Chains A and B, each alone.
Chain A
Amino acid sequence: MSGSRRDFITLSGSLVVGFALAPKWALAQDRPRLPGSLNTNRRLEAWISIEPNGRVTIFTGKIELGQGIGTALSQIAADELDVHLDRIDVVHGDTARTPNEGQTAGSLSVEQSGTALRFACAEARDILLSAAATKLGVPAAELKVSDGTVIAPGGKSATYWDLVGAADLKREASGKVTPKPAGGYTWVGKSVARRDIPKKFTGGAAYVQDVRRPGMVFGRVVRPPSPGAQLTSVDEARVRSMPGVVAVVRDGSFLGVAAVREEQAIRARDALKQSAKWKETESLPPSGDALYRHLMSATVPAQTVTDKASATAAAPVKTLDALYTRPYQAHASIGPSCAVAQWQDGALTVWTHSQGVFPLRADLAKAFGIDPKQIRCIHAEGAGCYGHNGADDVVLDAALVARATGGKPVKLQWMREDEFAWEPYGSAMVMKLAGGIDAQGNVVTWSHELWSHPHNTRPGATAGVNLLAARYLAKPLDPGLPPDVPQPTGGADRNSIPLYDFGNVKVTKHYIAAAPLRTSALRTLGGYANVFALESFVDELAAAAGADPVEFRLRHTKDARIRAVIEAAAQRASWRPNAKSAGDGGRGFAFSRYKNLGCYCATVADVHVDRKTGRVRVTKVVAAVDAGQIVNPDGVVNQIEGGIIQSASWTLKESVRFDRTRVTTRSWAEYPILRFDEVPEVQVVLLDRPSERFLGVGEGAQGPAAAAIANAIAHATGKRLRALPFTPERVKQAL
């Protein structure tokens, strides 16, 4: 990474101080390890700027996507600096201004960026105090700070804003200034109102869709009718003559258009669609149950994820096995992906809702064969993405079209069908579980075998170019075959290793890197499907052992934090051991620790099953969560609530439809999601652990919510559903 702020002074016209961002030497192994993302972005001034006007700017490579990260980071910075929260401005993801923190993904933003800012701000405060000590002639140890004013015992004072000239923050962080202890915080731990919300409810410019640039025109893309299609002919001339059309861009099978007005661009897109002739091929897998047989027939080597033999476990007296499946599922953002792109003198500036502006820049540089220094990627929020949707792809579309507009910026937004048919889906998966219990009903053998396509094809996941249009150009660029995300976090195999004491445990994965339908990160990667299978199967073994599901889980773990969330969820839900189901109502339990490293979450789901229609209604979900130290309790609750309800939607309704040639999911009519009258009541119990490190929560609840629903349906009906989603047809068939 060799980009610098200075490179962009002419490009952006903004007044910024030149400094190197994450230069190569910063990654050298012989330097001391620094906390969080400070390790790879080691300059203090990369993270924080004290302004003479009484403001503090913090810079983060993590982007706001409605998860409230900007608010949480400002709380951390305000506390370490001893300034009022309102003084803090946050700059997110800008290749010219912020540290490179890779992707905003994996529920890691508070852990990585929050930890870096905590140490950077603690050190900045220390430097400012030293400067104050010199100025005031008082030892630093005797000084106190109140909202940026440093006060000496006699009452003499100096403010950060006065000291900023004398305090040199342009230096490498030492990581040696200890942040405040738990209990020393004013802002951290409080449900501070999110800073991004007021503008969202008053028509403020909150999203990339709201970016307006002088002379801007509107772009649309014409995607092929199917992933394997090639463009054979199109009447470009006729469309060029349509009202308002500024440019028609054809490059191989890539087809795009720009027009003065947005509706003109849409009409031009429709005209191009009508005149375009394509050669289509059957490139997609079979659907329905055949999809899962197809996945299991893939000739890829079986990889051992874990193989742990127990010397003390008894031989099983009873064994079970079961096959669980998960279909392709969509991110299905409410707002289709959008980007603004502008070329000036060979340099490209884009406004993007990408979750990783630096990896995006690298892929754009490869796609256009230019130096990354010639590209600036500036983050602006999009609609919630829940992982890798079309956010990065639409940037290449916009940049390709903008090459033909004579320097005019292009705002290009996908249509709804573009998003549904072309976003990279959460992979279909198969999980084959087997296990045995001993005479006491304890699990002594456990096996989990899984089949999956990739869960990360984001920019940077391979040496290739992972932007959709690149593979349709006249000179196509190879996306490359991504490796699976390795353990201990795992990708396809995320959360496949049980945290319970199960004696002999074997986990095997069949990772199928070549994917006929493009797949990538959808919240939790493989975690949702693996936890669904694992925690369903725990209940199946508990039933075989005649045990209560909560007691059965507790007897298989000594881990105090796991036990605490399980007990807290059971208690809040007034779990009654071995309770019989009431009529068509049922109750289910599940637990997971996200990635086996992140937050702990236990859930209790109540369902009602309509035996006539097969319709499952999730009426209530209780969750207990241990996320270590909590920065913003309401922010955590909001994420967990959202995770549970979104998971209920995936679990009851969602499946991408396709035939052997085309994706047939094109609108919300073919991809129903949970609506207001179907949404469960949610209660969240937080177990705050102020002396433990931060653990992200964005993906903590989806797996256990799905399994708790499956277990509740089994409790209500006596029938075990193992194929997601639990549509009325499937439920009726099972009954």
Chain B
Amino acid sequence: MASFTLRVNGERRTVAVEPDTPLLYVLRNDFELNGPKFGCGLAQCGACSVLVDGKEVRSCVTPVSAAATGRITTIEGLGTLEKLHPLQRAFIEEQACQCGFCGSGMVMAAKALLDRNPSPTNHDVRQALNGHLCRCASHNRIVRAVQRAAKEMRS
């Protein structure tokens, strides 16, 4: 066991775990953040995606020790029900899910995209999300939601 102080959604939080513990379990179980999901544990699906220093990482395969120095952002850090981030608002307005289990990872990947490219084409959005799996097949709604948010964030 080792102690790690993580910067998560703007707060410092300390946890004592094995250094190779996947970040996902610390976020979900120690910090009780529901956003990142266990989907595969193999970095194949993207359900667990969070941002570390603005870059998308797969928290299911990222050791907590590797994330300890970065600024970690989960969907909870973007906005709340009362004060939604434009991406959250857009996903809700486009009704861009069925089950929504992939949704948090999609939103975080979209956040990373819009931060580096505020005016993506639909092709750009599809490429940026291509490593994320959606089984309910809400893909087209998700692309529309990202574009809706991009538009709002530009204006």
Seen from chain A, the residues whose Cβ lies within 8 Å of a Cβ on chain B are 65-68, 193-194, 196-207, 209-210, 212, 218, 261-263, 332-336, 381-384, 386, 413, 415-416, 634, 638-639, 641-646, 649, 667-669, 673-677, 679, 681-682
Contacts and interface: CB of A to CB of B under 8 A. Distances in A.
Nearest to A672: B133
A384 B100 CA distance: 8
A202 B29 CA distance: 17
A315 B80 CA distance: 70
B126 A677 contact: yes
A673 B133 contact: yes
A205 B34 contact: yes
Interface string B122-145: 000111011011111111111100
Interface in B59-82: 74-76, 79-81
A217 to B, nearest CB: 11
Contacts, number: 171
28 contacts: A66-B97, A66-B98, A193-B92, A197-B95, A197-B97, A199-B81, A201-B88, A201-B107, A202-B80, A202-B88, A203-B34, A203-B35, A204-B34, A218-B29, A261-B25, A262-B25, A334-B99, A335-B37, A336-B38, A383-B99, A416-B40, A416-B41, A634-B95, A638-B98, A641-B140, A673-B133, A677-B127, A679-B140
Interface of B: 17-18, 21-22, 25, 28-29, 32-35, 37-42, 44-45, 47, 74-76, 79-81, 84, 88, 91-93, 95, 97-104, 107, 125-127, 129-130, 132-143
A203 B135 contact: no
B22 A263 contact: yes
Given A200-B104, A669-B44, A676-B126, 13 more contacts: A201-B103, A203-B76, A204-B34, A204-B81, A207-B34, A333-B135, A335-B38, A638-B95, A643-B137, A646-B137, A649-B137, A668-B42, A676-B127
A336 B42 CA distance: 13
B121 to A, nearest CB: 13
Nearest to A634: B95
The 9 A-B pairs with the shortest beta carbon distances in the complex, nearest first, are: A66-B99, A645-B137, A384-B99, A200-B100, A383-B101, A66-B98, A203-B76, A203-B35, A676-B126
A10 B109 CA distance: 46
Nearest to B60: A416
Contact of B100 (A66, A413, A639, A676): A66
B40 A668 contact: yes
Contacts of B125: 676
Residue of A207, A333, A384 ringed by the most chain B CB atoms within 10 A: A384
B125 to A, nearest CB: 8
B101 A201 contact: no
A642 B98 contact: yes
B130 to A, nearest CB: 5
A65 B99 contact: yes
A276 B59 CA distance: 29
Contacts of B101: 207, 333-335, 382-384
